[in-house]
Every structure is written in structure tokens, then in C-alpha cells.
């Protein structure tokens, strides 16, 4: 089992923060942008009324910015515990023309918000890094309003044997090598790849949500289960 000690994870993201966006573009050949757009477009909130969205593990702010682009009337907040990842978000948002997004340094396991605050929560490629998955789910449940929705974009593991082998070569060998070259921290990219191999995906992920507190709305596999989009509703 990988160590997911919060301070190690934060230090690791602080160390790759500067090259994080360019590494993402190169390592996914731009695919992460397509996935993120689809992820945000699929939220389908009631746009006639004012609503609040929290983007957890916002990193350099991609999802928060896309949320504001798609849903102009929404109040968007992005949180992350890596100050260096977060440092880049306000300037990126301003460059994209969105000055009113609120970015805060905070831990998912201790969200600085009252109960029942948000209509939607998003988290993209962040949930597998959290030290305690069930505690994170409990925090999401606490700050979501009744009937509020949680949207998760996260890596999975390809199911098809041939695809799994091909993707495995890319994921285990090429990704840590290239990620190391771009960021100067090969260890971080080896961690990122191992963490996605160990993280529960598909039905296993959905099982972590208690059926009395949550209702599954949708589970979509991307690129033969390389990643998934999950949408759940708080009861």
C-alpha cells in the first residue's frame, strides 16, 4: 500500500506545481482538457436559479475556471491544500476573464464551510490522493445541501486485457520517465501512476458511498476505463 500521508502529498504537489499544467498537456496529449470539459458540461444544474459549486483539490484551477465559463451565474469556490498549485489559479482565472472565482487553501478532510452550503461539489483527479476516502466522503456529505450532487473525475484501470497491457507500458514506464523529465521529480510521477493502479474504480468506487446517504446517478467509463466520471446525489 502507498503512503498517502497528507504532508507528503502536499509537498509532492508543491514540488511539481510549476510544471504541472504543461506535464498534463503533454502526458495526456491534451486529452485531460477534453475530459474536463465533458465532466463540467455534464453537471447540468438548474441554471435558472443562483447556485454554489465547490471544486475540491482544484490544483491550478482548471475545473473551477471551466465551471465559471459554463455556468456564469454560479458562485464558484476552489480549494486545495498545496499552496504552490493554488498560487497559479487566480492569475489563470483572471487571464480567462473570470475574476470572481474564490480560491482558498484548505484540506478536504476539514472543509472550512458550514453544513449544507453547496449545490454541487466537483473533484477531478484529486480523490485518490486523499489520506482517508471515507472521511472525505463524510465531509462532502456534510457541506452539500440535501439533494446536492457530487461529481468525481478519476483514473481507473483498463479492463480489456490487450488495452490494459498497452496502457500499462505507457503508464508504468513512459509516464514516470516523461513526468520526471518535465518536472524534475520522477518519484512524484511514479507515485501518481501507482496511486491510480491501487485506487478503487468503477463499481468498487461507488460501493464506498453508503446507500442510505447517497444515490448513484451516473458512472461513465472514459477511454476503456482509463478514467471514470461518477455523479452521486446526497439523499
Ligand X SMILES: C[S@@+](CC[C@H](N)C(=O)[O-])C[C@H]1O[C@@H](n2cnc3c(N)ncnc32)[C@H](O)[C@@H]1O
- Site residues for ligand X per CB under 6 A: 6, 9-10, 13, 57-59, 62-63, 80-82, 85, 107-109, 124-126, 129-130
> Could you tell me if 128 and 155 are in contact, meaning their C-beta atoms sit under 8 angstroms apart?
yes
Min. distance of Cβ 160 from ligand X in angstroms?
Answer: 25
- The smaller minimum CB distance to ligand X, of residues 101 and 108, is found at 108
- The smaller minimum CB distance to ligand X, of residues 107 and 216, is found at 107
What sections of the chain are H helices per DSSP?
6-27, 31-41, 62-70, 83-87, 89-95, 133-143, 161-169, 175-183, 186-198, 203-206
Min. distance of Cβ 209 from ligand X in angstroms?
Answer: 18
Per-position b or e across 39-65, b if 16+ CB within 10 A of its CB:
bbeebebeeeeebbbbbbbbbbbbbbb
- The smaller minimum CB distance to ligand X, of residues 80 and 119, is found at 80
Min. distance of Cβ 152 from ligand X in angstroms?
Answer: 11
Beta strands 227-234; 144-155: pairing state: antiparallel
Min. distance of Cβ 47 from ligand X in angstroms?
Answer: 23
Min. distance of Cβ 70 from ligand X in angstroms?
Answer: 15
Grid coordinates of 25: 498537456
Residue showing the smallest CB distance to ligand X in the complex: 59
- The smaller minimum CB distance to ligand X, of residues 4 and 215, is found at 4
- C-alpha 143/C-alpha 216 separation (Å) is 18
- The smaller minimum CB distance to ligand X, of residues 63 and 76, is found at 63
Amino acid at each position: 500500500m502507498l503512503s498517502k500521508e497528507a504532508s507528503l502529498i502536499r509537498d509532492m504537489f508543491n514540488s511539481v506545481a510549476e510544471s504541472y499544467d504543461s506535464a498534463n498537456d503533454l502526458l495526456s496529449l491534451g486529452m485531460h482538457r477534453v475530459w474536463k470539459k465533458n465532466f463540467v458540461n455534464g453537471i447540468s444544474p438548474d441554471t435558472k436559479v443562483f447556485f454554489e459549486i465547490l471544486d475540491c483539490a482544484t490544483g491550478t484551477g482548471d475545473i473551477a475556471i471551466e465551471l465559471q465559463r459554463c455556468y456564469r451565474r454560479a458562485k464558484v469556490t476552489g480549494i486545495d491544500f498545496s499552496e504552490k498549485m493554488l498560487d497559479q489559479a487566480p492569475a489563470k482565472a483572471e487571464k480567462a476573464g473570470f475574476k470572481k472565482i474564490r480560491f482558498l487553501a484548505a484540506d478536504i478532510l476539514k472543509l472550512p464551510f458550514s453544513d449544507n452550503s453547496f449545490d454541487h461539489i466537483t473533484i477531478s483527479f484529486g480523490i485518490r490522493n486523499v489520506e482517508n476516502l471515507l472521511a472525505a466522503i463524510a465531509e462532502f456529505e456534510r457541506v452539500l445541501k440535501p439533494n446536492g450532487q457530487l461529481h468525481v473525475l478519476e483514473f481507473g484501470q483498463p479492463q480489456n486485457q490487450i488495452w490494459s497491457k498497452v496502457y500499462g507500458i505507457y503508464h508504468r514506464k513512459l509516464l514516470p520517465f516523461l513526468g520526471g523529465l518535465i518536472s524534475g521529480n520522477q518519484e512524484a510521477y511514479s507515485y501518481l501512476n501507482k496511486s491510480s493502479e491501487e485506487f478503487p474504480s468503477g463499481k468498487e468506487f461507488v460501493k464506498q458511498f453508503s446507500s442510505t446517504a447517497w444515490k448513484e446517478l451516473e458512472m461513465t467509463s472514459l477511454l476503456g476505463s482509463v478514467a471514470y466520471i461518477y455523479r452521486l446525489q446526497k439523499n
